[in-house]
Amino acid sequence: MTTALITGATAGIGAAFARRLAADGHDLVLVARDTARLREHATELHDGHGIEATVLTADLATEAGIAAVEERLRDRRNPVDLLVNNAGFGNKGRFLDVSVADELTMLKVHCEAVLRLTTAAAGAMRERGRGGVVNVASVAAFVPRGTYGASKAWVVQFTQGAARDMAGSGVRLMALCPGFVRTEFHQRAGMGTDNIPGWMWLDADKLVAEALADLARGKSLSVPDPRYKALMGVVKLTPRSLLGGLTSRTGRKYGPQ
Ligand SMILES: NC(=O)c1ccc[n+]([C@@H]2O[C@H](COP(=O)([O-])OP(=O)(O)OC[C@H]3O[C@@H](n4cnc5c(N)ncnc54)[C@H](OP(=O)(O)O)[C@@H]3O)[C@@H](O)[C@H]2O)c1
Span 29-86, pLDDT tens digits: 999 999 999 999 999 999 999 999 999 999 999 999 999 999 999 999 999 999 999 9
| Ligand 1 center from residue 168 Cα (angstroms) | 31
Among 236, 150, 208, 186, CA closest to 23: 208
Kindly report the CATH class assigned to 3-254: alpha beta
Average pLDDT over residues 87-115: 97
Does residue 124 or residue 246 have the better pLDDT? 124
Q: Is the CB of 177 under 6 A from ligand 1?
A: no
Q: What are phi and psi of 121, to 5 degrees?
A: -70, -45
pLDDT band at residue 1 using 50, 70 and 90 as cut-offs: confident
pLDDT band at residue 17 using 50, 70 and 90 as cut-offs: very high
What integer pLDDT is reported at residue 243 of this predicted model?
74
- Catalytic residue at 254? no
What integer pLDDT is reported at residue 145 of this predicted model?
85
The catalytically annotated residue of 17, 142, 148, 180 is 148
User: In ligand 1, which atom is closest to the CA atom of 178?
Assistant: 6
pLDDT in tens, 141-180: 999 889 999 999 999 999 999 999 999 999 999 999 999 9
User: In ligand 1, which atom is closest to the CA atom of 7?
Assistant: 34
What integer pLDDT is reported at residue 256 of this predicted model?
41
User: In ligand 1, which atom is closest to the CA atom of 37?
Assistant: 40
Lowest-pLDDT choice from 57-61, 104-108, 219-223, 237-241: 237-241
| Cβ–Cβ under 8 Å, residues 139 and 223 | yes
- Report how far Cα 222 is from the mean position of its chain's Cα atoms: 12
Q: What is the overall mean pLDDT for the chain? A: 94
What integer pLDDT is reported at residue 255 of this predicted model?
47
What integer pLDDT is reported at residue 251 of this predicted model?
53
pLDDT higher than threshold 70 for residue 186: yes
Q: Is the CB of 39 under 6 A from ligand 1?
A: no
Q: Is the CB of 224 under 6 A from ligand 1?
A: no
- With b for 16 or more beta-carbon neighbours within 10 A and e for fewer, the 93-131 pattern comes to beeeebeeeebebbebbbbebbbbbbebbbebbeeeeeb
pLDDT higher than threshold 80 for residue 246: no
Among 166, 168, 146, CA closest to 158: 166
Q: Is the CB of 61 under 6 A from ligand 1?
A: yes
Does residue 152 or residue 251 have the better pLDDT? 152
pLDDT higher than threshold 90 for residue 129: yes
Q: Is the CB of 182 under 6 A from ligand 1?
A: no
